[in-house]
């Protein structure tokens, strides 16, 4: 096989790395963690990943891929069918439209942006779930998940930044 085949394969693997990482984290996030006296917590790793990659490498996470990840997340029971897809696509579109505000900013600014975007995503998911259930769903689990996500985002973003640096070093 020619070296150009291997170069193309290497380029494709680098382009698919953020999507693959998002899918793996989505699967990890679909495993509920039982906590005493509380409902199981499932961190929204897919939401964190879509937000991060929409800012730092949007070409590696195009909208159709975000849609597919949302559908898969819905099938894994992370939300009623369609809600996770709606939330991820909305987060992607909003983050991508505001990308210029976050590029080159300190981490605290990007984290603040995640706080705002994920709060909107939580509210959107809660409203959509309540509409589908035709009753008001208890918001406490969603709020608790939101707080867990805010606490986990710095660690997840750090891992993504390390992966991004590694990818860039492979391209050089």
Q: From first to last of its 172 residues, what are the pLDDT tens digits of the chain?
A: 556 876 676 666 667 778 888 888 888 877 776 666 555 557 788 999 999 999 998 988 899 999 999 998 888 876 788 898 999 999 999 999 999 999 989 999 999 999 999 999 999 999 999 999 899 999 988 898 899 899 999 999 999 999 888 877 766 5
- Give the pLDDT of residue 23: 87
Whole-model pTM: value is 0.86
- Give the pLDDT of residue 18: 83
Q: Report angle CA 33, 118, 29 to the nearest 5 degrees.
A: 25
- Give the pLDDT of residue 39: 54
Query: Any idea what the CATH number is for the domain that residue 156 is in?
Result: 1.10.1760.20
Enclosing domain of residue 87:
3-171
Structure tokens of 68? 């597919």
- Give the pLDDT of residue 91: 96
Token look-up 């996500």 returns 149
Q: In the chain, how many domains are there?
A: 1
């Amino acid at each position: 096989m020619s070296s150009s085949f291997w170069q193309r394969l290497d380029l494709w693997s680098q382009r698919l790395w953020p999507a693959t990482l998002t899918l793996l984290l989505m699967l990890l996030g679909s495993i509920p963690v039982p906590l005493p006296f509380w409902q199981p917590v499932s961190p929204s790793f897919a939401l964190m990943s879509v937000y991060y990659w929409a800012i730092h490498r949007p070409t590696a996470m195009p909208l159709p891929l975000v849609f597919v990840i949302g559908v898969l997340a819905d099938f894994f029971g992370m939300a009623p069918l369609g809600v996770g897809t709606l939330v991820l696509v909305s987060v992607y579109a909003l983050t991508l439209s505001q990308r210029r505000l976050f590029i080159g900013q300190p981490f605290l600014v990007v984290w603040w942006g995640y706080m705002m975007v994920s709060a909107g995503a939580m509210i959107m998911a809660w409203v959509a779930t309540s509409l589908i259930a035709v009753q008001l769903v208890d918001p406490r689990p969603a709020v608790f998940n939101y707080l867990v996500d805010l606490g986990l985002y710095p660690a997840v973003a750090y891992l993504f930044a390390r992966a991004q640096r590694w990818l860039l070093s492979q391209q050089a």
